[in-house]
């Protein structure tokens, strides 16, 4: 085989060379020995280079809620690229960023009225944490610097996000992280909650641990609490009934900001625009990303309550109020994609559709109870998780084999975390496709027994 030569780098390149790309959150050596490659996508399916159709059981990475290759979104991106490819995000603006911010603010509850754009969930979380710290500074309470996350929480991979996050492997290699961070206990107890349908009955009292942490550090030092309404990447942990309302009450009592990380739960995954609406709780900030434009162009952001925004709007008009931002904040292509996506969500009533499908989805997921090595099943909205028993020789190996087997032999894409299989299909999934997905899952679980 002759080698191509890259004259800019001096590197000899073989066709389909897999070596240069250091893949994220991937077992690189295993992948490059036996790749799982994707070449195309349409609606509910991915397409391999060989032309096999793979049922997308994970909406990409929790993000393609409107499905793949949707014509209105594609055309909006194409048109925007020709019209305005980039506009500086600092000191200049373009109309679609303002339009999208208004649309997102209108979807958010109460007075969550101001949107700060970032480019990913990780950036959105770090932005929210910085806003929280800066808010207390401008309010004259700069001693409020402590941040409280939760065990098993996932808040992206920035230093702020992994500091408040509670997933061991995401933290242990990266030093001491941010100082002044504490963690609530996670909300999962298999003995009390196994095979719960939706929100478990047991566990609301775990929110009271916040009182203990606040007492330990004193409320005068605590800036914010950040939680996922539904913990997603750790393996799908729905909140116990009443848990989030109790967190809100404790934060109000002690003058602490409450941040909901809705990077996964936002834009219909739980049947509402935001989980905050489902649970009747108004946080002080909401982070979002992923499904804001159905995963088509990187975008994320923070929605802040009016009082937080207003606190910064002091001093001379010409002075920058918040020294923070990104080159690509509110990028024209991402904003155009976002507007087209929100139109699709509204026109096809996809949030309402997810809510209507939820009981059927939960029934389908729970039908897998009793299969070999199934320890627990959790299902809520259009999200499901199956905990498998580990093999004696290696934790996580059974789930990895299930993921690999699903792609190669059953034309199904699933996501794994440790020994948990997660399924989070696009919101356009049909009842027939739910049946197909669960049938494939059952065959996979039996095959890795």
Place of tokens 């961070």: 181
- Count Cβ neighbours within 10 Å for each residue of 418-434 and write b for 16 or more, e otherwise: ebbbbbbbbbbbeeebb
Strands (E), 221-316: 222-227, 257-261, 285-288, 300-305
- The answer to whether the CB of 265 falls within 8 A of the CB of 229 is yes
pLDDT of 16 reads: 75
Strand partners, 226: 259
Q: Is 255 or 11 the better-scoring residue by pLDDT?
A: 255
Terminal Cα distance for the chain, rounded: 42
| Residue pLDDT, tens place only, 104-137 | 999 999 999 999 999 999 999 999 999 999 999 9
Q: What is the DSSP letter of 146?
A: E
- Count Cβ neighbours within 10 Å for each residue of 257-277 and write b for 16 or more, e otherwise: bbbbbbbbbbbbbbbbbbbbb
Please determine, for residue 1, whether its predicted confidence score (pLDDT) is greater than 50. Answer: no
pTM above 0.85, yes or no: yes
Task: For the chain, give the mean pLDDT.
Answer: 96
Enumerate the CATH 3.40.640.10 domain ranges in the chain, comma separated. Answer: 73-347
Which DSSP helix (H) or strand (E) runs through 376? strand 374-380
Confidence of residue 15 (pLDDT cuts 50, 70, 90): low
- The answer to whether the CB of 343 falls within 8 A of the CB of 265 is no
pLDDT of 9 reads: 57
Please determine, for residue 2, whether its predicted confidence score (pLDDT) is greater than 60. Answer: no
| Residue pLDDT, tens place only, 316-371 | 999 999 999 999 999 999 999 999 999 999 999 999 999 999 999 999 999 999 99
Query: At 380, phi and psi to the nearest 5?
Result: -160, 145
Per cent of the chain over pLDDT 70 is 97
| Residue pLDDT, tens place only, 300-317 | 999 999 999 999 999 999
Q: What is the DSSP letter of 64?
A: -
Q: Supply the Cα-derived Rg of the chain in whole angstroms.
A: 22
Q: How far apart are CA 33 and CA 234, in angstroms?
A: 27
Token representation of residue 220: 């005068």
Distances (CA, A) of 87 to 35, 333, 401: 38, 10, 45
Q: What is the DSSP letter of 271?
A: S
Q: How far apart are CA 15 and CA 4, in angstroms?
A: 8
Query: At 225, phi and psi to the nearest 5?
Result: -115, 135
- Nearest Cα neighbor of 410 from 387, 438, 368, 429 is 438
Please determine, for residue 218, whether its predicted confidence score (pLDDT) is greater than 80. Answer: yes
Please determine, for residue 28, whether its predicted confidence score (pLDDT) is greater than 80. Answer: yes
- The answer to whether the CB of 148 falls within 8 A of the CB of 213 is yes
pLDDT of 11 reads: 58
Q: What is the DSSP letter of 172?
A: T
| Residue pLDDT, tens place only, 376-404 | 999 999 999 999 999 998 899 999 999 99
- Give mean pLDDT, residues 9-31: 82
Neighbours of 125 (CB within 10 A): 32
Query: Counting every residue, how long is the chain?
Result: 449
Strand partners, 42: 45
| Residue pLDDT, tens place only, 258-286 | 999 999 999 999 999 999 999 999 999 99
CATH code assigned to 73-347: 3.40.640.10
- The answer to whether the CB of 371 falls within 8 A of the CB of 445 is yes
Enumerate the CATH 3.90.1150.10 domain ranges in the chain, comma separated. Answer: 21-69+349-447
- Count Cβ neighbours within 10 Å for each residue of 345-354 and write b for 16 or more, e otherwise: beeeebbebb
With H, G, I as helix, E, B as strand and everything else as coil, classify residue 447: helix
The CATH label, of 3.30.750.24, 3.90.1150.10, 3.30.2130.10, 3.40.50.10800, for the domain at 21-69+349-447 is 3.90.1150.10
Query: What's the 3-state SS for 325-337?
Result: CCCCCCCHHHHHH
Please determine, for residue 203, whether its predicted confidence score (pLDDT) is greater than 60. Answer: yes
Would you state the torsion angle of the CA atoms of residues 158, 160, 166, 172, taken in this order, to the nearest 10 degrees?
Answer: 60
Query: In terms of C-beta distances under 8 Å and separation of at least 24 residues, what long-range contacts does 349-353 make, across chains too?
Result: 350/65, 350/66, 350/268, 350/427, 350/428, 351/267, 351/268, 351/271, 351/272, 351/273, 351/427, 352/271, 353/427, 353/428
Token representation of residue 444: 């996979």
pLDDT of 393 reads: 84
């Amino acid at each position: 085989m002759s080698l191509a030569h890259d004259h800019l780098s001096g590197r000899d390149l073989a066709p389909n060379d897999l070596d240069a790309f250091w893949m994220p959150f991937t077992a690189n050596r295993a992948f490059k020995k036996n790749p799982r490659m994707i070449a195309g996508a349409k609606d509910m399916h991915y397409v391999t280079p060989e032309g096999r159709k793979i049922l997308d059981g994970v909406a990409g990475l929790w993000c393609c809620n409107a499905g793949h290759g949707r014509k209105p979104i594609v055309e909006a991106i194409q048109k925007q690229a020709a019209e305005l490819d980039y506009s500086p995000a600092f000191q200049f603006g373009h109309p679609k960023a303002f339009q999208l911010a208004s649309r997102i603010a209108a979807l958010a509850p109460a007075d969550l009225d101001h949107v700060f754009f970032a480019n990913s969930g990780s950036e959105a979380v770090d932005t929210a944490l910085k806003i929280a710290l800066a808010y207390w500074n401008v309010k004259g309470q700069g001693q409020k610097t402590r941040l409280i996350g939760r065990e098993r929480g996932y808040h992206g991979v920035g230093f702020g996000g992994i500091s408040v996050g509670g997933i061991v492997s995401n933290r242990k290699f990266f030093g001491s992280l941010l100082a002044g961070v504490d963690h609530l206990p996670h909300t999962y107890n298999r003995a009390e909650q196994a095979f719960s349908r939706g929100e478990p009955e047991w566990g609301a009292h775990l929110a009271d641990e916040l009182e203990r942490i606040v007492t330990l550090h004193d409320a005068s030092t605590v800036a914010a609490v950040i939680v996922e309404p539904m913990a997603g990447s750790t393996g799908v942990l729905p909140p116990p009934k009443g848990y989030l309302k109790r967190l809100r009450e404790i934060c109000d009592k002690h003058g602490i900001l409450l941040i909901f990380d809705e990077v996964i739960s936002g834009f219909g995954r739980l049947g509402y625009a935001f989980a905050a609406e489902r649970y009747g709780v108004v946080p002080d900030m909401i982070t979002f990303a992923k499904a804001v434009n159905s995963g088509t162009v990187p975008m994320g952001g923070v929605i802040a309550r009016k009082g937080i925004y207003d606190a910064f709007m002091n001093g001379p008009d010409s002075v920058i109020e918040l020294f923070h931002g990104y080159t690509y904040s509110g990028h024209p292509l991402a904003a155009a994609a976002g507007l087209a996506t929100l139109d699709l969500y509204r026109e096809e009533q996809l949030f309402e559709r997810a809510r209507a499908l939820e009981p059927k989805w939960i029934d389908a997921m729970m039908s897998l109870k009793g299969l070999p090595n199934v320890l627990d099943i959790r299902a809520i909205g259009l999200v499901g998780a199956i905990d498998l028993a580990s093999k004696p020789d290696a934790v996580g190996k059974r789930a990895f084999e299930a993921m690999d087997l699903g792609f190669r032999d059953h034309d199904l894409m699933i996501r794994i975390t440790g020994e948990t299989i997660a399924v989070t299909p696009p919101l356009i999934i049909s009842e027939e496709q739910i049946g197909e997905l669960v049938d494939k899952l059952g065959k996979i679980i039996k095959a890795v027994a």
